[in-house]
Amino acid sequence: MNDGAVRYQRDGAIGRITFDRPAARNAMTWAMYDELAGACAQVAADPAVRVAVLRGAGGKAFVAGTDIGQFRDFKSGEDGVAYERRVEAYLAAVEELPVPTIAVIEDWAIGGGLAIAAACDLRVATPGSRFGVPIARTLGNCLSIANYACLAAALGLARTKRMLLLAENLTADELHTAGFLAEIIPPAELDARVEQLCSRLAGNAPITMRVTKESLRRLLHAGFPDGEDLIRQCYGSEDFRIGVEAFMQKREPRWTGK
């Protein structure tokens, strides 16, 4: 398996985080998640960085979730609990960055990719982009309480339920109307518009933005209930194992409800 990479580069006041595994639509391996955390640490430690841009390499996807092959090693619900804790920590590294973050989405932001985009402050996308977490149709797993809350806050409760329960991929137009996307930008204009947004953010009061981000983060995360029992139910189920194998074999799963 090609582990891919998450690459970090500082370009003046802009920190650029690139998900670089285009042959797999930038699906995240464990190594890439670790590199994402490392890139976030570099941004947070560098006072010269005033804005961070997260983007997928290749122009065909932002991030198409976690590499599903890695789930074959899961043996019980406890593996799912450990995985969701780990993902929460990676997403927190993005969410807690002290500078504004922009997710630049071209085509696909699926599963963990949608969660990473939701953890950013602003999102822009090209017109044909698609967004979803189709786990009810594919893997038979679930998200953590924190991730459900983040999606509900970003998309609205009714739209989040429709996306998750029907396993629908939503369009850029719908998510722009919902306020999830700041702008829809034609591909030919994308780079220039992202630079304009970076310039504007870099010129704003950094402490005001830092405090605003942290205040909103604390409001979102206040009083979360425990949900690890629910994670164990999904990841410890026979259906989850069926879903993973069906996905890897490119066939439809036959759910048992067990």
**pLDDT tens profile 184-193:** 999 999 999 9
Handedness of CA 245, 248, 253, 258 (dihedral sign): positive
Handedness of CA 144, 175, 216, 90 (dihedral sign): positive
Quick check: helix, strand or coil at residue 21? coil
CA–CA distance, 98 with 214 (Å, rounded to integer): 8
**pLDDT tens profile 43-76:** 999 999 999 999 999 999 999 999 998 899 999 9
| pLDDT score of 223 | 84
CA–CA distance, 89 with 29 (Å, rounded to integer): 15
CA–CA distance, 65 with 194 (Å, rounded to integer): 23
| pLDDT score of 224 | 86
Residue with tokens 């164990």: 232
Q: Is residue 212 exposed (0-12), middle (13-18) or buried (19+ Cβ within 10 Å)?
A: middle
Handedness of CA 174, 177, 180, 182 (dihedral sign): positive
pLDDT tens track of the chain, all 258 residues? 578 999 999 999 999 999 999 999 999 999 999 999 999 999 999 999 999 999 999 999 999 999 998 899 999 999 999 999 999 999 999 999 999 999 999 999 999 999 999 999 999 999 999 999 999 999 999 999 999 999 999 999 999 999 999 999 999 999 999 999 999 999 999 999 999 999 999 999 999 999 999 999 999 989 888 899 999 999 999 999 999 999 999 999 999 999
This prediction has a pTM of: 0.95
CA–CA distance, 16 with 123 (Å, rounded to integer): 15
Structure tokens at 235: 């990841």
Handedness of CA 243, 246, 251, 256 (dihedral sign): negative
**pLDDT tens profile 149-158:** 999 999 999 9
Query: Which domains does the chain show, CATH number per domain?
Result: 5-187 (3.90.226.10)
